[in-house]
Amino acid sequence: MSLRVRLIAALLATSLLSVAIVGIVAQQRLMRKFDDLVLARAARNFTGDVAAYWLTYGSFEAGLRAEPFRHFSLRRSALLRQPELRPNMAGTGGPGPDTGGPGTAEALPPWTAADADADTPASPPDFAPSPLDPGRGLPPFRFVLFDPSGKILSPPSETGRALRPEEQQNAIPIAVKGRIVAFASPLGIVNYSPADRAYIAAMWDAIVWGIAVAALTAIGLGLVVGNRLSASLRELTAAIRGMQQGSLRQQVNIASRDEVGVLARAFNAMSDELAESHERLQASHLTISQQAEQLREQAIRDSLTGLYNRRHFDERAASTLQYSIRHGHPMAIAIGDIDHFKSINDRFSHAVGDAVLREIGELVRQHLRSSDLAARYGGEEFVFGFPETDLAEAADCCERLRQLIEAHPWRQIHPDLRVTISIGVTAERSLGGLDAMLAAADHHLYAAKLHGRNRVCGADEDAEAPATAVSATQDLRVRTA
């Protein structure tokens, strides 16, 4: 189950539970208040009837001998419903009339036999509707009436019994002419009248409608708030996933002041800090990589010409030669030496000599292929490696380089400057290794020097070289390193 569904479900459950609790509490409070009001009205009517009964007959016992109290109560209620018959009596009218308490009670004309013959039997059934008050029916409450000494006066079935102290706790005093003559205590539960039931039904209808409206409102608010909260969290989740995928600078637009807003602001600050730290780290890594590359280049290249140095050439050429031998591919090695370089230094200065070396290094880089190897091997000597190249092709490449160097405008460095180069080349992989091929190329270089310099010599060109040249070239690389 997603967080959005859980949030909405929790909000809806909480809201609906709150609505149900409010409805239950409201119903209980209303019913309790309604019962209290019904009890207060019934007690006021009953005590008013007792006080009027007392005033009419002088005492409750005397009244019982003349007219049953229930009949007197119905007769009094009927009279109070006719204002023209009771100009001095108070009453509210309406369903379940309020016949007034003891303070407003007045004596009625005593009941006589003639009245009984003309109206109603002297003893109507207890709690039955009476012709005097057809709408009254059952009273809301039954009351126990007892005198100040605690002896029951009514109902007749309990007359003379003494009430226990706990039964007298909620008794209502009835005063006649300033003297308490009796007490009334309610019995049992409420007997609702039709009007009361109509009121209760109306209250229940209002409560049910209120609960329904509150429930619909709670559902709507729960959906809105739940979607809003889950939308904020989904935005945070998407931003976190973006960071996980490498996009560290993420921002979420949550402007609330609650915990989600605090979390969003903290996340935005964290994202900025992480992105800045990562950028600084990347810049530092790039700087370190560049410096490492520079150090590597410095370690493998000659600082004057920019070509590889001798150590790196030996490593690369040896591995390339082994690969060529293993797979049967051709490879050529060549050594070149600047003609009369010592005289250039002596005649024009070492600065001019360094300029010559730099220019030759640039010409070599421009002329050779990217797969070829070129290095300054020492002093004015250069060495070249030609992978996947036979002797004829390597010799042609060296010849083009020689011509390029000879035709270069050296006068830009010095008006009298002229530079040439002699190159020896070999492709004999069967000699046994890189050192042997370098020695063979060195031999051909010496032959080029003997034949007048400014030339490229391979296996054929130096065939007429003196035999002593072979032994002399064995130390050439050591002397020129």
- Per-residue model confidence (pLDDT) at position 152: 84
- Does pLDDT of 171 surpass 90? no
CA dihedral of residues 233, 235, 241, 247 (deg, nearest 10): -140
> Among 91, 179, 77, which Cα is nearest to 131's?
77
Q: Which helix (H) or strand (E) holds 172?
A: strand 172-176
Lowest mean pLDDT across 291-305, 363-377, 419-433: 291-305
- Per-residue model confidence (pLDDT) at position 311: 94
Q: What is the percentage of the chain residues whose pLDDT exceeds 90?
A: 32
- Per-residue model confidence (pLDDT) at position 220: 84
- Per-residue model confidence (pLDDT) at position 116: 58
Tokens of 404: 């390029």
- Per-residue model confidence (pLDDT) at position 157: 64
What is the average pLDDT across 95-124?
62
DSSP letter for each residue of 167-202: GGTT-EEEEETTEEEEEEEEESS----HHHHHHHHH
| Residue 440 belongs to some domain of the structure | yes
CA distances from 317 to 25, 211, 305, 360, 422 (A): 97, 92, 19, 21, 21
Same structural domain, 45 and 191:
yes
Instruction: Count other Cβ atoms within 10 Å, centred on residue 136.
Output: 20
Can you say how many angstroms the Cα of residue 91 is from the centroid of all Cα atoms in its chain? Answer: 69
What is the average pLDDT across 323-331?
93
- CATH number at 454 reads 3.30.70.270
| Residue 218 belongs to some domain of the structure | no
Please calculate the CA angle 345-381-395 and round it to the nearest 5 degrees.
Answer: 130
Three-state DSSP class for residue 247: coil
Residues 275-287: tens digit of each pLDDT: 888 888 889 989 8
Mean pLDDT of the chain: 80
- Per-residue model confidence (pLDDT) at position 459: 64
Residues 106, 416: Cα–Cα separation, whole Å: 154
Tokens of 318: 């040896």
- Does pLDDT of 122 surpass 50? no
What is the average pLDDT across 131-157?
67
Instruction: Count other Cβ atoms within 10 Å, centred on residue 256.
Output: 14
Residues 367-426: tens digit of each pLDDT: 999 999 999 998 999 999 999 999 999 999 999 999 999 999 999 999 999 999 999 999
Provide φ and ψ at 318, rounded to 5°.
Answer: -65, -45
- Per-residue model confidence (pLDDT) at position 340: 95
Same structural domain, 187 and 325:
no
Burial class of residue 225, CB neighbours in 10 A (0-12, 13-18, 19+): middle
Residues 203-233: tens digit of each pLDDT: 888 888 888 888 888 888 878 877 777 777 7
| Residue 76 belongs to some domain of the structure | yes
- Per-residue model confidence (pLDDT) at position 301: 93
Domain boundary among 166, 181, 196: 196
Q: Is the peptide bond before 330 cis (omega within 30 degrees of 0)?
A: no
Lowest mean pLDDT across 44-53, 307-316, 320-329, 419-428: 44-53
Residues 154, 46: Cα–Cα separation, whole Å: 12
Q: Give the pLDDT band (50/70/90) at residue 329.
A: very high
Q: Give the pLDDT band (50/70/90) at residue 136.
A: very low
| Residue 258 belongs to some domain of the structure | no
Residues 137, 254: Cα–Cα separation, whole Å: 68
Same structural domain, 314 and 185:
no
What is the average pLDDT across 460-466?
45
Global pTM? 0.46
Are 478 and 381 spatial neighbours (Cβ–Cβ below 8 Å)? no
Which residues form the domain of 81? 3-196
- Does pLDDT of 245 surpass 50? yes
Domain boundary among 162, 196, 230: 196
| Residue 153 belongs to some domain of the structure | yes
Same structural domain, 54 and 189:
yes
Total domain count, the chain: 2
| Residue 241 belongs to some domain of the structure | no
> Among 71, 192, 83, which Cα is nearest to 126's?
71
Are 348 and 340 spatial neighbours (Cβ–Cβ below 8 Å)? no
Tokens of 191: 């007997």
Lowest mean pLDDT across 49-53, 102-106, 195-199, 354-358: 102-106
Burial 182-201 (b: 16+ CB within 10 A, else e): bbbbbeeebebbeebeebee
- Per-residue model confidence (pLDDT) at position 125: 40
| Residue 166 belongs to some domain of the structure | yes
Domain boundary among 151, 170, 196: 196
Q: Give the pLDDT band (50/70/90) at residue 463.
A: very low
Three-state DSSP class for residue 174: strand
What is the average pLDDT across 156-171?
75
Q: Give the pLDDT band (50/70/90) at residue 139.
A: low
Residues 275, 269: Cα–Cα separation, whole Å: 10
Residues 19-32: tens digit of each pLDDT: 889 888 887 888 88
Residue type at 418? R
Residues 53-100: tens digit of each pLDDT: 888 888 888 888 888 888 888 888 888 776 554 444 444 333 445 666
| Residue 285 belongs to some domain of the structure | no
- Per-residue model confidence (pLDDT) at position 258: 74
Residues 332-347: tens digit of each pLDDT: 999 999 999 999 999 9
